[in-house]
C-alpha cells in the first residue's frame, strides 16, 4: 500500500514530535537536583594530661650592684689599669692618682706621731721621777703638777698625731681606685694626665655587677593572692622565697631558657598602680642578660592533673568570647563557647565548655558551619609540653 504525499508528511511530523518528547524527557531526568556531599573536616577529642600553670608577666633586667668610681683626692691621673669593658675582680686597682704627694704627707704624719710618742715617754718618766721626789718632800707639789700636765698634753698630742696619720693613710689609699666588687667596668671618662678630684669628686667610670643579675617585674593584687596561695599549698614561707623558681626569656629567644629563684617581694602594694614589685636572681656567667633588657617572665603557680587541651588554632572568637566547633553524634556542627586557660606550646587548656568525649573540629574549620552536617575524620590530639603560661 502506498501512502500519499500528505500521509507521508503527517507520519514524518508525528515522528519528529515523538522524538522531541523523548529528548525532553531525557533532559528533565539529567537536570534533577542532587545535594552535595557533606564537607570533610578533621575532628579530635581533647587531650588530657597534667600541666603546670604559670603566671606570665613582663620584666626588666637590672644589675645587682652599680657604683660610680670617683676620684676622692685631687691630683693628676697617672694610670688607667684596665681595658674599657673588662670584667674585673673586687679589690683590683683600676685608676692611680698621683700617689707621691699623699705618700709624703703620710710619712710626715708618721714622723710627727713617732716624735710625739718619744716626747710622751720622756714626759712620763719625768712625771714618775718628780712624783717620787714629791712623796719624799724633795720636790714641790707645783713641780709634780707641771710634770703631770706636760705628760697629759703630750698624750693628747699623740692622739692628734695618730689621727693625722690615719687621715693621711686614708687619703693615700684614695690615690688607688679599687673595684669594690666583681663586675664589668665601663669606658674611662678622663684621660691619663687629666687633673681630677677638685672641689667635687670626679667620675672616672662605672662598675656594674651582672653575675649574678636581677630581673624585676610587677604583678597585680590578684596575682599576689594567687602566688601566696601557691606558696601556702607548697608549704613555702616568705622567708623561703629562694625556693620559688622563676624563668625568663629575652624577646628574641624561644621559650624561657634562663632559670633562677625569687629573692624579693615588696612588702606593700603601690597604691598609685595597684601592683607589687617582685625580683628574681639569676646566674649570668655568660653575661647574656644585660641591664636594661626587657624580658618575658613566668612563675609557677601549680599543677592541673587532668587538664583538657585542644589546638589553639581550633578556637575562634566572637562577641560572646572564645569558642570551638564540636561535631555531635549526628555529625552536625555545634558552636560551644568556652573558658580558656593556659597556653601549652600550641595547645590551649579549656577550663569550661567541652568534655573529654567531645569531637572538636581541628581542621577544615572554614567548612564547618554551625547547624550543618559534615563528614568527620577522627584525628588523635597531639600531646603538649607539661608546662603552661597563664594569660
Kindly report the CATH number assigned to the domain that includes residue 59: 2.40.30.170
Q: Is 4 part of any domain?
A: no
Give the number of domains in the chain.
3
Nearest CA among 212, 246, 190 for reference residue 76: 190
pLDDT tens readout for residues 313-365: 999 999 889 999 999 999 999 999 999 887 788 888 998 999 999 999 999 88
Q: Is 268 part of any domain?
A: yes
- The 8-class DSSP code of residue 373 comes to B
Strand (E) or helix (H) holding 148: helix 141-173
| 91 and 177 assigned to the same domain | yes
360-377 mean pLDDT: 90
| Domain enclosing residue 314, as ranges | 41-51+304-378
| 373 and 294 assigned to the same domain | no
179 touches 185 (CB < 8 A): yes
| 360 and 293 assigned to the same domain | no
| 268 and 237 assigned to the same domain | yes
CATH of the domain at 343: 2.40.420.20
| 194 and 89 assigned to the same domain | yes
Measure the CA–CA gap between 176 and 53, rounded to whole angstroms. 53
Confidence of residue 122 (pLDDT cuts 50, 70, 90): confident
For 350, the 3-state DSSP assignment is strand
Tell me which of 267, 286, 303 is where a domain ends: 303
Q: Is 33 part of any domain?
A: no
- Please confirm whether the linkage preceding 212 is cis (ω < 30° from 0): yes
| 82 and 190 assigned to the same domain | yes
For 216, the 3-state DSSP assignment is strand
Given a cut of 70, whether residue 161 has pLDDT beyond it is: yes
Tell me which of 303, 327, 362 is where a domain ends: 303
Measure the CA–CA gap between 51 and 345, rounded to whole angstroms. 11
Tell me which of 303, 336, 353 is where a domain ends: 303
| 202 and 79 assigned to the same domain | yes
Q: Is 384 part of any domain?
A: no
Measure the CA–CA gap between 103 and 110, rounded to whole angstroms. 11
185-207 mean pLDDT: 92
| 280 and 363 assigned to the same domain | no
Q: Which pLDDT does position 390 carry in this prediction?
A: 47
How many CB atoms are located within 10 Å of the residue 258 CB?
22
pLDDT tens readout for residues 237-264: 777 766 788 999 998 988 899 999 998 8
| 204 and 220 assigned to the same domain | no
pTM of the predicted structure, to 2 decimals: 0.69
Write down the residue that cell numbers 620559688 correspond to. 244
Amino acid at each position: 500500500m502506498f501512502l500519499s504525499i500528505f500521509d507521508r508528511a503527517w507520519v514524518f511530523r508525528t515522528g519528529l514530535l515523538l522524538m522531541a518528547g523523548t529528548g525532553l524527557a531525557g533532559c528533565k531526568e539529567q537536570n534533577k537536583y542532587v545535594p552535595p556531599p557533606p564537607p570533610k573536616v578533621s575532628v579530635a577529642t581533647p587531650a588530657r594530661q597534667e600541666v603546670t600553670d604559670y603566671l606570665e608577666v613582663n620584666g626588666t633586667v637590672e644589675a645587682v650592684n652599680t657604683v660610680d668610681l670617683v676620684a676622692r683626692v685631687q691630683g693628676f691621673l697617672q694610670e688607667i689599669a684596665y681595658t674599657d669593658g673588662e670584667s674585673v675582680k673586687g679589690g683590683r686597682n683600676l685608676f692611680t692618682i698621683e700617689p707621691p704627694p699623699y705618700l709624703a704627707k703620710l710619712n710626715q704624719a708618721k714622723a710627727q706621731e713617732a716624735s710625739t710618742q718619744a716626747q710622751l715617754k720622756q714626759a712620763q718618766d719625768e712625771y714618775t721621777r718628780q712624783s717620787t721626789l714629791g712623796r719624799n718632800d724633795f720636790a714641790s707639789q707645783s713641780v709634780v703638777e707641771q710634770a703631770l700636765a706636760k705628760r697629759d698634753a703630750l698624750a693628747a698630742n699623740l692622739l692628734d698625731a695618730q689621727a693625722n696619720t690615719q687621715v693621711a693613710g686614708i687619703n693615700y689609699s684614695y690615690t688607688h681606685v679599687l673595684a669594690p666588687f666583681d663586675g664589668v667596668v665601663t669606658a674611662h671618662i678622663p684621660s691619663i694626665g687629666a687633673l681630677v678630684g677638685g672641689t667635687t669628686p670626679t667620675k672616672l667610670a662605672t662598675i656594674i655587677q651582672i653575675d649574678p643579675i636581677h630581673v624585676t617585674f610587677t604583678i597585680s593584687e590578684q596575682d599576689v593572692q594567687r602566688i601566696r596561695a601557691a606558696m601556702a599549698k607548697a608549704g613555702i614561707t616568705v622567708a623561703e622565697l629562694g625556693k620559688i623558681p622563676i624563668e625568663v626569656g629575652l624577646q628574641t629567644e624561644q621559650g624561657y631558657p634562663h632559670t633562677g629563684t625569687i629573692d624579693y617581694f615588696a612588702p606593700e602594694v603601690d597604691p598609685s598602680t595597684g601592683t607589687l614589685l617582685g625580683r628574681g636572681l639569676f646566674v649570668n656567667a655568660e653575661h647574656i642578660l644585660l641591664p636594661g633588657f626587657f624580658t618575658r617572665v613566668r612563675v609557677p603557680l601549680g599543677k592541673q592533673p587532668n587538664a583538657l587541651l585542644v589546638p589553639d588554632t581550633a578556637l575562634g572568637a566572637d562577641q560572646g568570647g572564645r569558642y570551638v566547633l564540636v561535631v555531635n553524634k549526628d555529625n552536625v556542627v555545634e558552636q560551644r563557647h568556652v573558658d580558656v586557660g593556659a597556653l601549652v606550646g600550641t595547645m590551649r587548656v579549656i577550663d569550661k565548655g567541652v568534655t573529654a568525649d567531645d569531637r572538636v573540629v581541628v581542621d577544615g574549620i572554614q567548612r564547618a558551619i554551625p547547624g550543618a552536617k559534615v563528614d568527620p575524620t577522627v584525628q588523635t590530639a597531639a600531646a603538649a609540653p607539661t608546662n603552661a603560661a597563664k594569660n
